[in-house]
Structure 1
Amino acid sequence: MVRYAEQALLGALLLAPERLKSIGPLEPDQFADAVHRALFAAMQTLVPPAPEAHRARPVWLNGVLDAARSTAPALTASYLHTLIQTCPRDAHAAAYAQVVRAGHTRRTLHYHATLLTRAATTPGPDPATVALAQADALTAHLDDIATLFPAHSGPTPRAPGSELDRPDASETALHEEWLLLAALTAHPDGLPRMRWLHEADFTHPPHAALFAALTALTRRGTPVDPITVLAEAQHRGLLHDGFSPEKVLGLAASPAGTPEHWGHKVLHRALLTQAHTTAHRIVALTTDETSTIHQLATGSRRALAALSAVHARWHHATAPVSTTPARARAPAVPAARPTGRPATRARP
């Protein structure tokens, strides 16, 4: 579709070069085809002739062809005539330009989403910072979309056609989640300080359910130890062949580290997983040619909202604790004694 719009736009500009002033902001790199980019760049470097001169001689066509051949040597005069023939009406050049901008916007959003996928899945010293920075760049691009394509009433965006399957939990993830549960069983007083961790952050559903059981015990004020945790797990139907009572009783056998340390590990992995899921959903939206730019932008913002929620919890979990001492209370100022004389009334 975008290729036909590019051809129609260039044909309109070859027919009526004065339309260049009415198509709105458009750059050569917003064209998908390399030859079309060369042609539009050539048009921007030339001065359009007067309408009378343009109708009398093909000065405009020859000038555009010569200027574009510097970057597109294979360009021929016959292709210019093909572009002119594919243009239904040159008066609709602004509408064709809007379709070209929409195509470029879709490709750019797809590119940013691909970079987010790469940032969320590539190992590095600080992958969370890289992924969040890429998410900010994607959000900035969505802000540009709102400027170029004002919001309007229309159908809501459809859900992506393919959902990303949750990856299988790695041995490292399972081990760190179990160490977190063991640390919380041994030191349940740390759980109220970890409101930034949710059971959805766990990769293994039984671990998430056991974390919910620990949270419930703490909120009710019930003492937390392996026996009370086992009783809560039984009430929640968590005991089965792969999750035996002996395993629950062994939670506090050898706790290592603090709950906050292992909680950061779990939340960090959940942040990267959510970044990958968000990028996958946006890529699916950009590849759906039936969605409008308005639907694409709305669906992308909804996908980023889920990542922003995890980002807020990650910021709360990793923010340094303020060590500034409380401000000393100012000494009370004694009230002035009454003098027995009435106060002088202020005059205007």
Structure 2
Amino acid sequence: MNPLLRAEQAVLGAVLIDPGQLTRLDWLAPDHFYRPVHQALFGALRTLRDDGHSALSDDGPVPLSWVNNAVDEAGLHVRGLTTSYAHTLISACPRFEHAPVYGRMVLEGAIHRTIAQHAIRLHQAARADAVQGEVEGALRTADVLTGVLTDLARRWGTDPRPVAPTTAPAAVTTVSPPVQSDQVAEDERFLLAVLTEQPRAMDEVVDWLRPVDFADPAHGQVYRCLGALHHRGEPIDRITLLWEAQRRGLLADGTLSGEQLIAIGDGMLPGSAEWFGHRVMRSSLTRTAAASARAVRALAEDEALGPGRLINHALHALGPLDEVRARWATAKGSPAPKPTASAPSAGGPPPARVQAARARSAPRPTPSPPVQPSPVPAAAPSRPPSRARP
């Protein structure tokens, strides 16, 4: 059986056996459970607790009304839940005093699942932007993913900071989103032609455009040669470009051919280097967003990766996107975006983060043996289910 399913059953069974365990699970939310019936039942148990159910104040055996009322309350939000399943949950709990550990397992599963879902959304947004020639959707979705990672780090009790994984995720591929490849290649050729044929054209793009922004590696190498000539203050034309490519060994290793370099600019009309550079940058940003999304998803699907490392590795995987985004802001004359995650403050982690970590790991005194719900309802009248959850 799936360990995550067993953990969800165990934590619910522990609370049904001992309602007081809810006070040790304040950091666990209903949406952290995978199965909808478990989400509804945990939410119902919290509702009964918040409404002051008698089971939390009685010192004697846990009344059967605690189980019945929880099933009735959860039944308002999900179908198929029966009292017999509630008793199955009780049987599935080995030790009710281990509820925080079971809850931690549920939270771990939720962290992996949530990060994977948001990574998929980022990839979809990048694909859509690549087709439409935009970047706003991918940037917004990346901001949402960053916020989710930061919130999950707070719940888990760690500092969100980018940390490189020791080994690259096995599932990461180099497949690019489905863009209009012919159009992208044409934009790159036009840009290289403008940079080669127009003096001072490099001044318009050199501060924010990089060789890695070109989809065609050969085009990136040509731009690298142009950048080297510009940096040394040498004149740029087709002959000097051919000479620089030869000095870098690009002709000898077959990366470029002399015919390719001499043909740059043939049949091209004059244009704006900045305009074509923006088009190349947009394509680069969506490709980088898609690559980051695939890397984050691969990390989230690694079940052996702990939540703390997963969050920090995912933030590191978003680093290339942050770098391209900062250069895009420079190209557009916009303020630079805020960094993905800040370093931990010198004053130590916030109290809420410390409390979250302690709730999972602090030793607890050994409680009395578990008390199963009485087979006969208590004398107190049964509480009718609430029609509204807080």
TM value normalised by structure 1: 0.84
Matching residue of 1:151? 158
Question: Which is further off, 83-92 or 154-163?
Answer: 154-163
> In 2 relative to 1, CA 205–156 (structure 1 residues): closer, same or farther, beyond 3 Å?
closer
User: Equivalents in 1 of 2:54, 2:311: separation in Å?
Assistant: 36
Matching residue of 1:134? 141
Q: Secondary structure at the match of 2:16?
A: helix
Question: Which is further off, 159-168 or 292-301?
Answer: 159-168
User: Equivalents in 2 of 1:55, 1:314: separation in Å?
Assistant: 65
Question: Which is further off, 169-178 or 66-75?
Answer: 66-75
> Which of 22, 26, 34 in structure 2 is aligned with 1:24?
26
> Which of 67, 77, 81 in structure 1 is aligned with 2:73?
67
User: Equivalents in 2 of 1:13, 1:320: separation in Å?
Assistant: 52
Q: Answer yes or no: is 1:302 the counterpart of 2:313.
A: no
Cα deviation for residue 221 of structure 1 reads 1.8
> In 2 relative to 1, CA 155–210 (structure 1 residues): closer, same or farther, beyond 3 Å?
closer
Structure 1 contact 110–282 (Cα < 8 Å) conserved? yes
User: Equivalents in 2 of 1:6, 1:15: separation in Å?
Assistant: 14
For 1:175-190, list aligned pairs within 5 A: 175-190=186-201
1:225-280 deviation digits (Å, cap 9, x = unpaired): 11111222222333488954333223244343111111111111010000000000
> Which of 285, 292, 315 in structure 1 is aligned with 2:306?
292
Counterpart of 1:283, as a letter, is R
Which blocks of at least 5 consecutive residues in structure 1 are unaligned? 322-348
For 1:1-348, list aligned pairs within 5 A: 1-46=3-48, 47-50=53-56, 52=58, 55=61, 57-123=63-129, 127-151=134-158, 158-167=167-176, 170-194=181-205, 195-239=207-251, 243-253=256-266, 254-319=268-333
1:34-56 deviation digits (Å, cap 9, x = unpaired): 11112112212222514657616
Cα deviation for residue 64 of structure 1 reads 1.6
> In 2 relative to 1, CA 242–214 (structure 1 residues): closer, same or farther, beyond 3 Å?
closer
Which blocks of at least 5 consecutive residues in structure 2 are unaligned? 336-390
Counterpart of 1:313, as a letter, is R
Structure possessing the higher radius of gyration over alpha carbons? 1
Structure 1 contact 12–84 (Cα < 8 Å) conserved? yes
Question: Which is further off, 5-14 or 61-70?
Answer: 61-70
Q: Which has the higher contact order (CA 8 A, sep 6+)?
A: 2
> In 2 relative to 1, CA 268–57 (structure 1 residues): closer, same or farther, beyond 3 Å?
closer
User: Equivalents in 2 of 1:51, 1:299: separation in Å?
Assistant: 45
1:56-95 deviation digits (Å, cap 9, x = unpaired): 6422122222222333442222222221111121112122
Cα deviation for residue 303 of structure 1 reads 0.7
Equivalent residues, number: 320
User: Equivalents in 1 of 2:63, 2:259: separation in Å?
Assistant: 93
Structure 1 contact 39–68 (Cα < 8 Å) conserved? yes
User: Equivalents in 2 of 1:125, 1:4: separation in Å?
Assistant: 45
User: Equivalents in 1 of 2:169, 2:209: separation in Å?
Assistant: 28
* Percent identical: 36
Q: Secondary structure at the match of 2:200?
A: helix
Structure 1 contact 157–291 (Cα < 8 Å) conserved? no
1:101-150 deviation digits (Å, cap 9, x = unpaired): 22222222111111110110014656311111111111111111221112
User: Equivalents in 1 of 2:278, 2:185: separation in Å?
Assistant: 14
> In 2 relative to 1, CA 216–274 (structure 1 residues): closer, same or farther, beyond 3 Å?
same
Counterpart of 2:72, as a letter, is D
User: Equivalents in 1 of 2:187, 2:54: separation in Å?
Assistant: 68
1:274-304 deviation digits (Å, cap 9, x = unpaired): 0000000111111111111011101111011
> In 2 relative to 1, CA 277–16 (structure 1 residues): closer, same or farther, beyond 3 Å?
same
User: Equivalents in 1 of 2:117, 2:272: separation in Å?
Assistant: 40
RMSD across aligned positions (CA): 2.5
User: Equivalents in 1 of 2:149, 2:34: separation in Å?
Assistant: 20
